[in-house]
Structure 1
């Protein structure tokens, strides 16, 4: 069973501001559920953060510590951040998109994964938990950004 979950939220702030904060790995632990730490462990070929860069995240999911590495597959500042796991408990694909909306920014997060071994039995629970977490992530993103005005 594969997991394919998406959440979206209209955030009443300009797209550039929302995307800049959300796409900065240094902010991951502030607004992303379960992430305790995020570290840039490989820079892009051009240096810094971009296609080819890798971020190692330490998270807790269902009470278990999970360390995983996401490699940036596509990066369009202000609009798109697409990452694939290159190390961790399961293959995963995470996509963030940001676009203009009459009321601000339409922010979307999509997570696709293929639970294997231990996680395969928990796939239905994981899908529900991921969906709930993504919704909370977007609420927290909005709350953080509004507090920083």
Structure 2
């Protein structure tokens, strides 16, 4: 699975990224996330490359916990994470670039393979994830307006 979505948000990239890259806001704009916590700080402390965030979500009627490790953290442009624990491997990339005409072009890309755990819904998984990340971006824009 490799899905992405983008949306222009009428706020500067610094404002959008500051909010979206703060794990304490994950549950406010990310579909299904009920809780997020910084489970391992970055080597220099706080949030950055090497930090790990544990998210608790509800997905297809099940509660799941997964841990994302920060691979790249370059505010206000890029946040890249990969799962190191959870039901299936995934790689998540958030980008916040200046949009032509102003605002921020915000995008989310998710790559992963859920076929081992969600075999029956595998063919629908990409559509489901794409719909969710479109809603994430919609909710992100709403929280920043």
Shift of 1:24: 0.4
**Cα offset, 1:118, TM superposition:** 2.6
Shifted more, 84-93 versus 110-119: the winner is 110-119
Partner residue, 2:138: 139
Q: Which residue of 1 aligns with 2:56?
A: 58
- Aligned-pair distance for 1:124? 1.8
Tell me the alpha carbon deviations over residues 84-136 of structure 1, each in whole angstroms, 9 at most, x when there is no partner. Answer: 00000000000000000123000000000111423133222111111000000
CA distance in 2, matches of 1:62, 1:44: 31
Residue in structure 2 matched with residue 36 of structure 1 by the alignment? 34
Q: Which runs of 5+ in 1 are unaligned?
A: none
Deviation by residue 1:42-96 (Cα, 9 ceiling, x = unmatched): 0000100000000000001111111000000000011100000000000000000
Aligned to 2:46: 48
> Normalised by the size of structure 1, how large is the TM-score?
0.94
Task: State the alpha-carbon separation in 1 of the partners of residues 121 and 22 from structure 2.
Answer: 30
Structure 2 unaligned residues grouped into runs of 5+: none
89-98 vs 109-118, which moves further: 109-118
Corresponding residue of 2:107:
108
* Count of paired positions: 144
Out of 14, 18, 21, the position equivalent to 1:20 is 18
TM superposition shift of 1:32: 0.2
Alpha-carbon distance in structure 2 between the residues aligned to 1:97 and 1:123: 26
Matches within 5 A, 1:77-96: 77-96=75-94
- What is the CA–CA distance in structure 2 between the aligned matches of 1:68 and 1:54, rounded to whole Å? 10
Q: Residue in 1 aligned with 2:74?
A: 76
